[in-house]
Chain A
Amino acid sequence: MSARAILLMIGKRLVALVVLIAILSFLVFSLVHIAPGTVVDAYLGGKPATPELVQALTERYHLDEPFLTQYWLWLRDALVFDFGESTLTTLPVTDEIGARLGPSAFLAVYAYLLTLILGVIPGVVAALRQRKTLDRGLVAGAVVALSTPPFVMGILLLYLFAVLVPVFPAAGLGEGFLDQLWHLTLPALALALCVAAFLLRHSRASMIKVLDQDYIMFARARGLSRRHVLVRYAFRNALIPVVTVSGSLLAFFFAGAVFVETAFSLGGIGELLVQATETSDMPMIQALAMLIAVLIVLANLLADLAYVAIDPRIRFEGRSA
């Protein structure tokens, strides 16, 4: 395998990624211009428009420059994580996001692990028990979970496990790792179930497809044990398409996190986004939109790389017949 081919592929992906992010940044920047009122209004965020303040804002955001220059200057600042100050709190936007990143990251990682556990394992089990009661139950459950958006799931879980049978806390973040784990279980579940259902269907279908392949039959016919074939053959091959979708799962997570964080008041960046939209905190909205876009794009790149690592066919594409 040539490392060059991989580097080339990564290089190409990176270029595409930079272009994509450039386009997104332009759209995000333009947000202040499509918002109702003047651009200064957008940056004022409801503060009285004293001449001094207007002057300061005009200077801060280069509002007297032509549109494209403004964009360029904005982008230059954005590249060093300077998105301006929140109109609501007057703090640098990046600081505020930094302070909020913790709970969101914890939630995201927790939910991601739950998703993998609740998605892949039952998916594989269902595929192995195809057409049995367990399979049907899992598949039906998956449709329900898939159709229940995180905020509804969150509220239902909240009602069931915090009100009816209060085993989990209804709000808050907790302190220390275990306490946080306990506090974030319901939100992470609410976030994970929908995506896990998607993953369950995906991995089940993929596993069924793989189990049907000739090479599985051939491996068995050669006398390899069932377990060996399941683990080394079926599971690994079934994982390939699962890995490819896992990158796009992150997009689901971000959308879902907005709702779950709101429903459980977790004070993460999802909630910050909602708060920023409610208060038209433009610099904050811009920074968050960029952050999320970049994270999603990077996650997709990672998924692609994982795909390359796990599936040799991609690696050798350039060379094989």
Chain B
Amino acid sequence: MTEAAITTPQRLTGRRVRRRPPVLIALCFAFMALVLLMAIAGPMLAPHDPAQQDVLGSLAPPGAEHWLGTDGLGRDVFSRMLAGAQSAILGPLVIALASMVCGNLLGLLAGYRGGIIDSLVMRWVDLMVAIPSLLIIIVVAGALGGGYWLAVGLLIVLTIPTDARVMRAATLEQTPRPYVEAAKTLGVTDGRIMVRHIWPNIAAAAVANSVIIFAGSLVSLAGLSFLGLGAEPGTPDWGQMLSENQPLLFTNPVAIIAPGIAIALTATSVNLVGDWIYEKMSSRGAGR
């Protein structure tokens, strides 16, 4: 029998996952790589010191010396854009990783074991659903005084339950499947079932969800900086540049448009890549 002859009918009847044009995904990856490079080597690549002020030469329009002009304190906007990638990437990375580890663990436990952990996680989620996390952060950061790492910490605490909820739902979907029950009747331990059986099947959701969390927290952190509750003044940060330079809308609009577009583009490419990873990974197991 040929290899092709044994494809299952389900494989054929099942809707083929539509792949996005890989060009677009490649572009997204390229852009993400660029942002990553900026985050790592931004200050070195920058044509000027991002903190270097030239107050008397402020508000220069874009030109050969300052590609994106200068801001109100005469700092080079382009250099600040490069350097700003770091705070745009670092916090979300920490948040995505932390909430992925904790959220997956909690979600698996809650979904597979149920009981107390499950109720706790769900109540926590209910609370989070009742008030959007950004508002919670605004209020708490307002009371405590704000700051980048405070915001990161709060975002971690607030995204864990949402991640856990997604993972719980995914786990709940897997748990009654016969392959899990088969493992149970074989006497495989619960821990092993969770980690070696269920997790690989929900990994697509886990990774995609973390990618979405990454994009979400990038946007949230930028928003908090925009409100002055995030990055400390002076640090190059896209969200902060957006609010700092808002008065320049008419004098040097590039200084405000550029960070805005950077935020939107980064989030877009991360989201697109997340969708793509999800499709890719969930079609790996194929079948039903």
Any A–B CB pair closer than 8 Å: yes
A residues near B, CB below 8 A?
20, 23-24, 28, 31-32, 34-36, 131, 140, 143-144, 146-149, 151-153, 155-156, 158-159, 163, 170, 248, 251-252, 254-255, 258-259, 262-263, 273-274, 276-278, 280, 282, 285, 289, 292-293, 296-297, 300
Give Cα A144–Cα B144 distance, bound, in whole angstroms. Answer: 34
User: CB-CB contacts of B78-120 with A at 8 A, as 1s and 0s?
Assistant: 0000000000000000000000000000000000000000000
Contacts of A146 in B (CB 8 A): 271
Of the candidates B129, B263, B272, which one forms a contact with A149 in the assembled complex, judged by CB atoms under 8 Å apart? B263
Contacts of A131 in B (CB 8 A): 18
B271 and A259 within 8 A (CB): no
Of the candidates B135, B228, B249, B272, which one forms a contact with A258 in the assembled complex, judged by CB atoms under 8 Å apart? B135
Residues of B231-279 whose CB lies within 8 A of A: 242, 246, 249-250, 253, 256-257, 260-261, 263-264, 267-268, 270-272, 275
Most B-side CB within 10 Å, residue of A35, A170, A300: A35
- B286 in the interface, Cβ–Cβ < 8 Å? no
- B4 in the interface, Cβ–Cβ < 8 Å? no
Contacts of B45 in A (CB 8 A): none
A143-B272, A149-B263 known; A262+B256 contact, CB < 8 A: no
8 A-B pairs with CB atoms under 8 Å apart are: A32-B143, A36-B144, A151-B223, A170-B249, A248-B129, A255-B135, A258-B134, A274-B138
Nearest 10 A-B pairs (CB), nearest first?
A277-B142, A147-B267, A147-B268, A148-B264, A255-B132, A255-B134, A152-B260, A251-B132, A35-B143, A149-B219
Of the candidates A23, A254, A277, A280, which one forms a contact with B132 in the assembled complex, judged by CB atoms under 8 Å apart? A254
Contacts of A24 in B (CB 8 A): 127, 130-131
A159 and B130 within 8 A (CB): no
A147-B215, A152-B242, A289-B135 known; A251+B129 contact, CB < 8 A: yes
The smallest beta-carbon distance between B229 and chain A, in angstroms, is 7
A147 and B264 within 8 A (CB): yes
Give Cα A262–Cα B261 distance, bound, in whole angstroms. Answer: 19
Beyond the given A143-B272, A297-B130, could you list 9 further A-B residue pairs with CB under 8 A, ordered by the A residue number? Answer: A34-B144, A149-B264, A152-B263, A155-B260, A252-B132, A278-B228, A289-B131, A292-B131, A296-B130
A143-B272, A155-B242 known; A277+B141 contact, CB < 8 A: yes
The smallest beta-carbon distance between A302 and chain B, in angstroms, is 14
The smallest beta-carbon distance between B253 and chain A, in angstroms, is 6
Of the candidates B132, B227, B249, which one forms a contact with A158 in the assembled complex, judged by CB atoms under 8 Å apart? B249
Contacts of A274 in B (CB 8 A): 138, 227
Of all chain A residues, which has the CB nearest B128?
A: A251
A34 and B134 within 8 A (CB): no
A280 and B131 within 8 A (CB): no
A20-B126, A152-B242, A156-B257 known; A258+B227 contact, CB < 8 A: yes
- B226 in the interface, Cβ–Cβ < 8 Å? yes
A163 and B249 within 8 A (CB): yes
The smallest beta-carbon distance between B215 and chain A, in angstroms, is 6
B142 and A276 within 8 A (CB): yes
Give Cα A213–Cα B275 distance, bound, in whole angstroms. Answer: 25
The smallest beta-carbon distance between B243 and chain A, in angstroms, is 8
Q: Is the interface of A mostly helix, strand, loop or mixed?
A: helix
Of the candidates B139, B256, B275, which one forms a contact with A285 in the assembled complex, judged by CB atoms under 8 Å apart? B139
- B32 in the interface, Cβ–Cβ < 8 Å? no
Give Cα A12–Cα B272 distance, bound, in whole angstroms. Answer: 40
Of all chain A residues, which has the CB nearest B227?
A: A274
B268 and A144 within 8 A (CB): yes
A20 and B127 within 8 A (CB): yes
The smallest beta-carbon distance between A199 and chain B, in angstroms, is 16
The smallest beta-carbon distance between B232 and chain A, in angstroms, is 15
Give Cα A119–Cα B244 distance, bound, in whole angstroms. Answer: 32
Contacts of B127 in A (CB 8 A): 20, 23-24
Give Cα A24–Cα B124 distance, bound, in whole angstroms. Answer: 12
Of all chain A residues, which has the CB nearest B267?
A: A147
- B202 in the interface, Cβ–Cβ < 8 Å? no
Give Cα A149–Cα B230 distance, bound, in whole angstroms. Answer: 16
Give Cα A23–Cα B123 distance, bound, in whole angstroms. Answer: 11
B271 and A285 within 8 A (CB): no
